[in-house]
Structure 1
Amino acid sequence: MPFSQYAAYAQDTYTLPEISLRLRELLDSPTTDVQDIARLISIDPALTSKVLRLANSALFRFPAQIDNIARAINVVGGEAIYNLVIAETAQKAVFTYHNDLINTKQHWYKSVVTGVLAKRLAKEHVRGTERFFVLGILYHLSEMIIAQHSPDAYQSYLNDAECVEPWQKQSIYFGFDFALCSGGVLQHWQLPLQLYAPLMDAHDSSQDHKPLEERLLCQAQAIEWIFNSCTDPEQCFHKASSLTELSLEYKELAAFYALAEQEALTIQSLF
């Protein structure tokens, strides 16, 4: 079954919240001002509270307290606020596709860890790293959808205990990797190109020189896999070809992951 069919299934079974669609329209309109965006988000008190908690978190490290949506928009920017709304949407989608094969809370934690790792890796290269956090969160979205739609195939995939990077094993069992499928889901949901294209190309072996976003996503996922999923992390570390660019020893990478895990636990509690 091609990944596009799973993406179509997701489109048929989950509807993006109206507020995320309307926010995208406002951000794309040249006549929109800060108050327009603030009024829209303020319609949903729960979302307002969550966006403010995230805006005041380690994601941004702003030195002063951000106490209202208009100030949050002025400080971190409309696109950053949109990314936070999409992160909230992703959490709701993950819990929509609960199934007996995946512990939903653990899966969401895995998504947050991957997001934090991507953000931390991006800090050395770019500003506005919250987009990498959201890309990391979205990376694993399709796994829930695939497990719900094709439980037998997913169970066979789970039963394979060989120490191989996950996307390679996914390609063997499904003919595509889950990041590609997640990108396809987001494309069907008509999210912006910059949120789905890096996922769809993350493990494209035909690219001689991967763009930064794809490289960082591969590295974040590899680190998460080593320390959060492998029974023998050090053995997996030596098999993770996507980490050669980092030039880190195993102990250095373990320390990097430990810091990311602490941050992920804090951020997870904000959702």
Structure 2
Amino acid sequence: MLDSPGPTGPRRPHGVSRRDALRYATAASALAGLGAAAGALSPAASAAAPTLIDYAMRQIPAQDIRAAGHAGVINYVSTSRPGSSFGAKPITLPYAKSLNAAGLVIVSNYQYGKPGGTAPSDFTRGYAGGVQDARVAWQLHTAAGGGQSAPIFFSVDDDIDRETWNTVALQWFRGINSVIGVQRTGIYGGVNPCQWAAADRVIGNSSSPGHVWAWQTRSWSRGQIYPAAVLYQRIVSTASNPGPVVGGLEVDVNDVMASDVGQWNIHP
């Protein structure tokens, strides 16, 4: 997740290679479904999958997102950690309305803590922490106009092993499930946590056949892609490998892998 400030300014855009286009060919059918939900996309459609961006430093104007050719955003339904002040945390109702008016889709994500941050990683907080985090996430999601049946993707922003999943993260997800239910729970993480969450049935199913509420990052995934994921974070902006600039802000870029990725407007 991109929730730390990065330098701004002109950067060479990240192109999509022929190999990437073929790799994501399974998402081609998503273009029509997501495009219909989002409105007309610009610029002209290409062989690549539709993309959503995520960012935290500040709200990027809807027109800049449209101009960059993205179909929508993944925005936070969480607040900033102590000592930080991210302008896109949490998403607000006026901002959500501006995105909707521009024909952009919105997907919800929760992340408060972070490894090495001023608050510990959310998944380390156990069952009770999951209960608390789910309550906060749902309140912020609904206050911004989020769909009542839309999922929220909860972040495992770390490279964890199976033991940590079984003994720590799984309990956190079960706490989340106790508040909003399995069907409204999703996960952000590397390939393994996404697969474990699906196997342990703590995340819900997309209406797109064969897909679950898994938003996979390329980080810690060792080149593997979970075929049941609905989103794949292909570009993770870092100081050494900055993401493309949209509206003056470096962003992460996520490929759409299914027509139903949990966007608010098809989950009223």
In the superposition, the TM-score normalised over structure 1's length comes to: 0.30
Higher helix share: 1
In the superposition, the TM-score normalised over structure 2's length comes to: 0.30
For the pair shown, which has the larger CA radius of gyration, 1 or 2? 1
